[in-house]
Amino acid sequence: MNHRSGSLRREPALLVLADGAVFEGEAFGAVPDDGVSVGEAVFNTVLSGYQEVITDPSYAGQVIAFTYPHIGNYGVNPADDEAAAPHCSGVVVRDLADAPSNWRSTGSLEDYLVSHGVAGITGVDTRRLTRHLRDHGSAPCAFGTAAEGDLLAAARSAPPTDGRDLVSTVTRSTVLTRGDGPYRVVAYDFGIKEAMLRQLGDLATVTVVPAATPADEVLALGPDGIFLSNGPGDPAALPGVIAEIRGLVDHGTVPIFGICLGHQLLATALGATTYKLAFGHHGGNHPVRRTSTGRVEITSQNHNYAVAADSLGATEVTHVNLNDGVIEGLASTEVPAFSVQYHPEAGPGPHDARYLFEEFRMLMDAHGGPSGRDGGAA
């Protein structure tokens, strides 16, 4: 890969969708030698937090187009990373800031992307792109400095996220321990974010395990609670993971809390089905109504799949998206398990829904925590 510094004239580049739509721009970041980067194009409406978005492992396989026009203005810093490295396939912006200014900044967004091998395209008419994706749905795309015909061919051959196990590309391979709270929580890493680990670490000593960890191994650790993390891709492509979660549900005594992909996987283990949204929910300002109180929360969201309302079994809907009615939260009526589709841990925010971690703590209290379970007691 090569790199065009922000102080130099950038190379012309194109973004081409699989349906033939073409958007002009200029290359930035880590430019592949063949001038082609591919992925599924989605748009995100956050006004700030671009580093947290780019490093969210849930974006594996996707190209992120930011609707906010000015990106990179406050630089990057290690404290805002949600993972050790980005897993997204590329970044699309209208106006890239070449001279970031912020007391927390340790470098520019472009240099950060170069260091991690992530390509980008700037100068794109992101309003037109967003309207196109909103009207026609998320789509495979290709972008870069290659010829338009080559980019179109690459876009049309790029795989969508449907039916793909992307979790295996982002999950850890070894066990990690975080936090020092009084409870014991086992967290499945389907692409877990640092912000989640910080929130859980305030409550518990958290044992983070790989996505394929069997249910009996998790129960043998004697947890007060089990956490199902966010992650990328199609939940229906993870039958093995769903089977293990079903085993945890059937055990019936250890509280379970799921977020985002964890919500979809828990719902599936409880008997529901999922479907792909046309263009997903990606942003930091989605209104969600809590059904028990009628209170409206402003939430951060990042998902392409949702739980089908007509497939629910022994569960109650706890939260609903006010934009389109999508289910945003569920609770089992038979076992201590609940989940939300959105991100209560979100950094930099909003923080309206952080009470859900306290609800997880109270649920663990009601079922023997903290540390009321012995390892191997399952």
User: Cis omega (within 30 of 0) on the bond before 12?
Assistant: no
Taking only the tens place, the pLDDT of each residue in 258-286 is 999 999 999 999 999 999 999 999 999 99
Structure tokens at 129: 């792109």
User: What is the chain's percent helix, strand, coil content, to nearest 5?
Assistant: 25, 30, 40
CATH topology of domain 167-366: Rossmann fold (3.40.50)
What are the structure tokens assigned to 297, written together?
A: 């929360």
Q: Is 141 a catalytic residue?
A: no
The CA distance from 155 to 230, in Å, is 27
Domains of the chain, by residue range, sit at 2-157, 167-366
- What is the architecture, at CATH level 2, of domain 2-157? 3-Layer(bba) Sandwich (3.50)
**150-189 pLDDT, tens per residue?**
999 999 999 888 999 999 999 999 999 999 999 999 999 9
Quote the pLDDT of residue 3: 47
Strand extents, DSSP E, 198-273: 204-210, 225-228, 256-259
Active site residue 88: no
CA distance 121 to 202: 39
Q: Rounded to the nearest 5°, which phi and psi values hold at 358?
A: -70, -35
pLDDT in tens, 47-90: 999 999 999 999 999 999 999 999 999 999 999 999 999 999 99
On the question of pLDDT at 369 being above 80, the answer is: no
Is 345 a known active-site residue? yes
Strand order in the sheet with 274-290: 176-178, 204-210, 183-189, 225-228, 256-259, 337-340, 327-332, 315-321, 274-290, 296-307
The gap from C-alpha 374 to its chain's centroid, in whole angstroms, comes to 33
SS3 340: strand
Catalytic residue among 82, 88, 132, 260: 260
235 phi and psi angles, rounded to 5 deg? -60, -30
* The predicted structure's pLDDT at residue 320: 98
Q: Is the dihedral of CA 20, 284, 113, 68 positive or negative?
A: positive
Strands (E), the chain: 2-3, 12-17, 22-31, 37-44, 62-66, 70-71, 90-92, 95-96, 119-122, 139-144, 176-178, 183-189, 204-210, 225-228, 256-259, 274-290, 296-307, 315-321, 327-332, 337-340
Considering the chain, what percentage of its residues have pLDDT values greater than 90? 93
Residue 266 near residue 295, CB atoms below 8 Å = no
Whether residue 377 has pLDDT greater than 80: no
A 10 A CB-CB count for 135 gives 9
pTM of the model: 0.94
